[in-house]
Structure 1
Amino acid sequence: MVAVQHETSGRVRILSAARDLFAANGFHQTSMAELAAAAQVSVGQIYRLFRGKEDIIEAIVDSDISDREAVMLSLQRRLDAGEIDIEETFELLLLEVMDNPHEALSFDILAEGFRNPHVGQTIADMCAQLRRSLGYFACAANPNLSGEALKGAEEIILASMFGLGHRSLSAPALSAERAAKNAAHMIVAALRSAN
């Protein structure tokens, strides 16, 4: 039991340190020795828990998938319970993606997805899960959406999430709160006008 707790603790420290180092230095520029020092583990322990940096990236993406699923389910429950309306749902969702302290890491992970088919598939799986929830939200805004129109709505919303989640380099003129509010209003208006 102690060994499992130690392994879990080491895994958490490695992933946390990897997020910080990969975001600051880049995925390929971070050595395993630097990662081990930052996580306060041995290089050997890293290799006992992960096959290499690609496995660490996949674990980060898997963690992000779990976090996004939890956010989506929470928003869906609140929407279904009438605690929030569909516009507030999108606003909260967009605020969530804009609150990204590891934005640079996201770019590095996306780039690695093009180089590494396994990482690419992990990202594609994450997007497929997101699309299901986004489709649910799109239909909450417009119950008449189906088929290609619904798939198109999922793509536009997903693209908005990706874009707004990586907006800091564009020197945005609006605060995250104002951007999320305006974007949510526009998304819902567009969904309601779709046939």
Structure 2
Amino acid sequence: MQTLKEEIDNRILSAALNEFERFGYAKSSMRRIAAEAGVTAGNIYRYYKGKEDLFQALIRPIYLQFMNLLLAIKAEVEANLSELIGVPEQMELVNSTLNRLITFLEESSKEAKILLTLSQGSAFEHAKQELTEIINQIFENVMFYKQGDIGPKEKTAVAILAATLTEGVCLTLQIVKEREQIRYAILELAAVFGAGLREKNKT
């Protein structure tokens, strides 16, 4: 009996993942999820109280992994700032950061896509903004290390850069299906950033 319940629960979660990826949280339907999972609309509520409960079961573990990874990367960047001598070292640190982020996105592309682009109306709708803010802090630390307080122009430039990278990551998750292409697309974004960083250091 327990095995049967687990099998039904897995079917519900699989159907919900497809539904949330297709329609986003706000427009998803518990009735459609139940139909795809092969259970009655009433029976699905024996497993989950509602759409938010089901969304939490699917996305919360990924959200926690994602935020823990970002905070760990930020802490490691701050711990290694003293080793930054010039642009090559800056780029090495940025590339290391991006590679860890890319690996996570490759391994959880469906859930990450839902979290960052399709979670409006849920408890996780601010995840994209949180990603942008952490990337912004990392970029500020790396690009302006040893320069003290930075001015409003520099802060604006870094904020735009962080927002652009986040949008690029989200767009990649929306349109790219193959894991290798996710890595390629995000590394292309990193190359653009690297060119900007090198140009900044010439001035």
Structure 1 residue 69 displacement after superposition: 0.4
CA distance in 1, matches of 2:112, 2:137: 30
Alignment partner, residue 188 of structure 2: 182
Q: Contact 1:135/1:150 (CA < 8 Å) preserved in 2?
A: yes
Shift of 1:138: 1.4
- Unaligned stretches of 5+ residues in structure 1: 1-8
Q: CA deviation at 1:185?
A: 2.8
The answer to whether structure 1 residue 17 and structure 2 residue 22 are counterparts is no
2: CA distance, partners of 1:189 / 1:152: 15
Q: Give, as a single letter, the amino acid of the residue that structure 2 aligns with 1:186.
A: V
Q: Is the 8 A contact 2:102 2:186 kept in 1?
A: yes
For 1:31, the equivalent position in structure 2 comes to 33
Q: CA deviation at 1:93?
A: 1.7
Instruction: Using the TM superposition, give the Cα deviation of residue 153 of structure 1 relative to its aligned residue in structure 2, in angstroms.
Output: 1.9
Gaps of 5+ in 2: 1-5, 84-91, 145-149
Alignment of 1:1-195 (within 5 A): 16-22=13-19, 27-28=28-29, 30-32=32-34, 35=37, 43-47=44-48, 50=49, 52-82=50-80, 85-102=93-110, 106=114, 110=118, 113=120, 118-119=121-122, 122-123=124-125, 125-143=126-144, 144=150, 146-168=154-176, 175-191=181-197, 193=199
| Aligned-partner Cα distance in 2 for 1:95–1:19 | 24
Residue 158 of structure 1: CA displacement? 0.9
Distance in 2, matches of 1:94 and 1:31, equals 30
Give the RMSD, CA atoms, in angstroms.
4.1
TM-score, reference length from structure 1:
0.61
Name the aligned partner's letter for residue 14 of structure 2. A
TM-score (norm 2): 0.59
Structure with the greater alpha carbon radius of gyration: 2
Letter in 1 for 2:196: A
Instruction: Provide the aligned length of Structure 1 versus Structure 2.
Output: 169
